[in-house]
A and B are shown apart, each in its own frame.
Chain A
Amino acid sequence: MINEILIVASKDLRVEFRSKSTINSMVLFAMITIIIFSFGLGPFPPYIGEVGPGLLWLVFLFTGMLGFARTFVHEKEMGTFEGLKISPLSTLSILIGKAIFNFTLMLIVEILAFPLFLVMTGYNVKGSLVLAFFLIVLGTIGFVIIGSMMSALIINARTREMLLPIITFPLAVPLVIAATLSLKKVLADGSGFSEVFVEVEFMFIYIVIMSIVSMLTFDYAVEE
């Protein structure tokens, strides 16, 4: 099972890093948006401590949509998705493999975008950067799970790319609230782990629930 998941994920990464089309547009999009924000807000905006984490997550959400929309759609369009369906791979391995692939792309974007955001906005970081990045990663895991699941759900729809944000964002709201709030606490207020524990717990539960829901519904989603 774990072996199967890794085979799928590494195949996707290999395919992606041949063309780099998805990761390039994700990174570019994130960078440009952050730069535009920072210019729009002017130098050292006083309220950035409060709204910054929200803006950052907004960038992540839209960047994710760019990438996730491609996950299954690309395979579907190339006709390779059927090849996976007729293979002995369990549908669950395919889904988790894709989620890991999406997570890797998001992680690359975040590693580049997070420091850029801090620098461009002149953010006065009060708390631990390691903890802040941990919170981003935790939120990303949840986001990637629902994003991957939803991108599988839409492959048989006609307006798939447009549909994805519409069905993903409402589901992501509770997660994003917890992710933003905890990130703000750490970056702006200098909170430690114990002060964001409630949010961490909430994100963790969210991840568990969404994983279970995805596992139960994925077979149905890819049915033709």
Chain B
Amino acid sequence: MRKHNITLEVSNLTKKYNDFIAIDHVNFTVFNGEFLGLLGPNGAGKTTLVKIISAAIKPSEGIITINGHKIHEEPGEVKKSIGVVSHNSYLYEELTAYENLEFFGKIYGIPSKELDEHIKWALESVNLQHRSHDAVSTFSRGMKQRLSIARAMIHHPKLLILDEPTVGLDLQSKNIFYDLIKEINKSGSTIFLTTHYILEAETLCDRIIILSRGKVVLEGKVTSIKEQYPNMTFEDIYLEVTKSGAKL
């Protein structure tokens, strides 16, 4: 069965805020081990989509299936297998980096014997081991962002969802971050990344979905999209398809 290769299946997803339709009958699939990029202008619905996939909010319509489990049927099972980096860091300012990771490690069900190992690995991955016993309130924005990434991957999620993870990072941290997610991706995790940076999507992602006004306006492998629009830069293609918000 082909379904075994599928990490995330979004089918007929719609989200309404009162009368406003933020997500409009969206369908797509993400395969195991894939690195998928979700692009779209401000207000396209990227964060809304991420929140629905991570079970923070409920859709008005449609079904999300992750690793063969439907979110609304087995939320506990599904939530354990995903990690989320969102606009919010979800970190407790009063606690230290270590204590934060300890808390999240515990609630994601890491056995206490392995917890310390996981925490150290996550802190080292984002290069924060030297600040592990400082309160998060003393961290810079970029450091919080990195710790938030460590938080999201502490339980080795099968699906890592990243909503504009590089916002607020300096060039060095960005590069560290790119290397890190490439590595996580290689080790078997599926990556779902939303971004504004065309270049980021173009260089990192296997496949791209462009969202505009709640609808998917373009979907495909980076190389095949470029073939589809010869003589156009990726940026031009992006601007072209998001111009009207209508399906091409």
Question: In the complex, A4 Cα to B91 Cα: how many Å?
Answer: 18
The stretch from B52-60, B191-199, B211-219, B230-238 touching chain A is B52-60
Interface size class of A (residues with CB under 8 A): 20 to 34
Given the interface pairs A88-B79, A224-B57, the reply to whether A80 lies near B107 with Cβ below 8 Å is no
A-B contact count (CB 8 A): 61
The stretch from A11-19, A24-32, A158-166, A189-197 touching chain B is A11-19
Question: In the complex, A4 Cα to B109 Cα: how many Å?
Answer: 9
24 pairs from A and B in contact (CB 8 Å cutoff): A4-B107, A7-B103, A7-B106, A7-B107, A8-B107, A14-B94, A14-B99, A79-B89, A80-B90, A80-B91, A82-B51, A82-B88, A82-B90, A84-B107, A85-B55, A86-B79, A86-B82, A87-B107, A88-B75, A88-B76, A88-B107, A88-B109, A224-B57, A224-B58
Q: Which of A11, A19, A85, A90 contacts B103 (CB 8 A)?
A: A11
Q: Which of B3-48 contact A (CB under 8 A)?
A: none
Q: Is B132 an interface residue (CB 8 A)?
A: no
Q: Which of B56, B58, B89, B95 contacts A86 (CB 8 A)?
A: B56
Q: Chain B residues near A79 (CB, 8 Å)?
A: 88-90
The answer to whether A78 and B92 have CB atoms under 8 Å apart is yes
Chain A residue with Cβ nearest B91: A80
Question: In the complex, A4 Cα to B106 Cα: how many Å?
Answer: 8
Q: Chain A residues near B58 (CB, 8 Å)?
A: 223-224
Within the complex, the shortest CB–CB distance from B77 to chain A, in Å, comes to 8
Q: Which of A43-99 contact B (CB under 8 A)?
A: 78-80, 82-90
The answer to whether B94 and A19 have CB atoms under 8 Å apart is yes
